[in-house]
Amino acid sequence: MFYVADRTEMQEIDRLTIEEKGVPGILLMERAAITVLEEINSRLKSINADRKLKCLVVVEGGNNGGDGLALARLLYQQGDIVHVCYINGISRVSDSFSYQLEIAKKIGIQVTDHIIDSDYDVVVDGIFGVGLKRDVAGIWRETIETMNGLGGFKVAIDTPSGVDASTGQIMGCAFKAGMTVTFGLNKRGLIFYPGCEISGEVVVRDIGFAQAEVDRVHPVAYSYNRDDLCMLPGRSDSSNKGTYGKLAVIAGSRDMSGAMTFAAEAAYRMGTGLVKIYTHIDNKEIAGVRIPEAVLMCYSNKDEAEQCARDAMEWSDAILIGPGIGKGDAARSMVEYIMCEAVQTVIADADALNIISEKPDILGRHRGPVIVTPHIGEMSRLTGVAIPDIKKNILEVCKDFSMEYNVVSALKDARTCVSDGRDVYINTSGNNGMSTAGAGDVLAGIIAGLVCTGLGAYEAAKLGVYIHGLAGDMAAEHRGRNAMIARDIVSAISEVIKGAEHDGQQ
Ligand SMILES: NC(=O)C1=CN([C@@H]2O[C@H](COP(=O)(O)OP(=O)(O)OC[C@H]3O[C@@H](n4cnc5c(N)ncnc54)[C@H](OP(=O)(O)O)[C@@H]3O)[C@@H](O)[C@H]2O)[C@@H](O)CC1
Ligand SMILES: Nc1ncnc2c1ncn2[C@@H]1O[C@H](COP(=O)(O)OP(=O)(O)O)[C@@H](O)[C@H]1O
Ligand SMILES: [K+]
């Protein structure tokens, strides 16, 4: 697990380290510059350590610029050719910046207020870091556009200037980096789109912030890496299929049979003991062929659908409802009954969410844990917030919705967020090949499977989203991002989780 900071959290960690622990800011700045130097050297001088680089370092008068000046000095002292462009447009110049500027000038680095056109090997952006507060315009915009037009290896210090460190939104215009070296913690703006697309390779380097300060600030957002697969529930030698849960999948309708099979198979692949599919009678044959491991109960009218919902409630340990059920009377009646009566964990996806959005009070009446898995369009219907506004604030929307309804929400997008209303997981696995029909049904099945095999609702949703992305990455490796389809994601689940399997108590 690693924390992902926003602007204010990072500024507070800076402040606590400097003011309360007494670590001089200038010391942090030197470490920051050394880490960027190391990253540049390891990429451009690994074959020939004597290679002389022609470097442009563009700075403004804040601490990001101070980092830039310290880096310029280190490059110069190791024998590279360095030109510094100091824009000199902001009125409040930081003390550390002034200090660095004095040294730079004294040791003979050329500093001008404009970019000298040349063939640079390295172009460094030390204009704005986490202090960026408003849209980039005027002289700053012109400078960034000029820098984007230059060749060479583009390096951003801490954040590319113009990227909002908290949201990843572009503030008017932004430096397009090949690498961003960011300090202490990763930043939300370097993970969310479009910020992540222009940050290039993101390298997170420690520069001496104390863990105690990070813990005190306790950033709201975090993400997983492969070590977190150890959270997968273990399997016990003395188990039987009842040990790993009974999952009711209420899915599929007359015209939609794929959703139920994707979800059911994904749940089985995650280790669920028994899956029972409740679906329209027209899907009976296809379910038997596509997923013979599942038990089946079918309905052909609203009364029978209601019987199915009652059976699901009595029989199962967890209920997944929604994929492909449509919005007919039978579906509405099942959704309302399950959402209001179930005491076991309910995973509500797809059409269940569309039905709920017409009667949102249903969601407030749940008796057991609820996980909702809307994509942005479904969240827009649930909240009435326009899609572009959700996209800009996906983390807050996810957190606020979860808090309002006391549910776990997995708000699906290229960077899915999962929240329980208190903190937020940001997912970094997955790829654009997953923008394919049925990928969401697979996710719902994976999460349901994790609930059945023993995880709590919040952990199941977070780990499920992470595993789903890894399976998508594996599918892309096998098939390519164009050709992969939802079934390939299901097939890849076993490859993702088999390395992390362990024995354990249930
Ligand atoms: N604290 C530390 O000692 C350490 C900090 N470190 C480094 O410092 C960075 C943070 O430094 P920072 O807080 O000085 O802000 P920074 O990003 O340099 O911005 C400068 C100023 O720009 C201005 N401004 C904002 N938006 C603008 C706009 N659109 N157009 C025009 N002007 C705009 C705004 O000033 P304003 O005009 O609002 O008064 C702002 O104050 C951090 O990312 C890391 O690299 C590390 O070395 C570790 C130690
Ligand atoms: N560009 C992308 N990068 C990462 N994940 C993606 C991308 N596009 C889609 N996904 C993931 O694929 C799934 C698509 O779900 P959804 O939109 O509900 O599809 P469907 O309704 O067709 O099943 C989500 O989990 C989403 O996060
Ligand atoms: K920068």
Domain C-terminal end among 169, 193, 219? 219
Domain C-terminal end among 196, 219, 242? 219
Please check whether residue 87 lies inside any domain of the structure: yes
Domain C-terminal end among 174, 193, 219? 219
By alpha-carbon position, which residue is closest to atom 11 of ligand 2? Answer: 434
Kindly state whether residues 269 and 300 are assigned to the same domain.
yes
Number of domains in the chain: 2
* Any atom of ligand 1 within 6 Å of the Cβ of 5: no
Please give the pLDDT value at position 504. Answer: 59
Kindly state whether residues 133 and 192 are assigned to the same domain.
yes
Kindly state whether residues 273 and 204 are assigned to the same domain.
no
Please give the pLDDT value at position 11. Answer: 97
By alpha-carbon position, which residue is closest to atom 18 of ligand 2? Answer: 440
Distance CA 390, CA 376 (A): 7
Per-residue exposure over 71-110, b if at least 16 CB sit within 10 Å of its own CB, e if not: bbbbbbeeebebbbbbbeebeebbebbebbbeebeeeebe
Kindly state whether residues 191 and 277 are assigned to the same domain.
no
Indicate which ligand has the atom closest to the C-alpha of 155: 3
Beta bridge partner(s), residue 346: 319, 370
Span from the CA of 286 to the centroid of ligand 2 (angstroms): 25
* Any atom of ligand 1 within 6 Å of the Cβ of 32: yes
CATH number at residue 414: 3.40.1190.20
Mean pLDDT by 10 residues, the chain (506 residues): 97 95 95 98 94 97 98 98 97 96 97 96 98 96 98 98 97 98 98 97 95 94 96 85 90 90 97 96 92 94 97 98 96 97 97 96 93 98 97 96 97 98 98 97 98 97 98 98 98 93 62
By alpha-carbon position, which residue is closest to atom 22 of ligand 2? Answer: 437
Please give the pLDDT value at position 445. Answer: 98
Ligand 1 atom closest to residue 14's alpha carbon, by position in its atom list = 1
Containing domain of residue 299, as a range? 227-498
Own/partner pairs for 197-206, CB < 8 Å, 24+ apart?
198/160, 198/163, 198/170, 198/174, 199/156, 199/159, 199/160, 199/163, 200/154, 200/156, 200/176, 203/39, 203/179, 204/2, 205/32, 205/35, 205/39, 205/181, 206/35
Please check whether residue 505 lies inside any domain of the structure: no
Please give the pLDDT value at position 505. Answer: 52
Beta bridge partner(s), residue 299: 280
Kindly state whether residues 28 and 122 are assigned to the same domain.
yes
Please check whether residue 504 lies inside any domain of the structure: no
Ligand 1 pocket, mutate which of 64, 171, 214 (most atoms under 8 A from CB)? 64
Strand stretches in 200-350, DSSP E: 201-205, 221-223, 246-250, 274-280, 295-299, 318-321, 345-348
Annotated binding residues for K(+), written as ranges, equal: 64, 125, 161
Kindly state whether residues 256 and 393 are assigned to the same domain.
yes
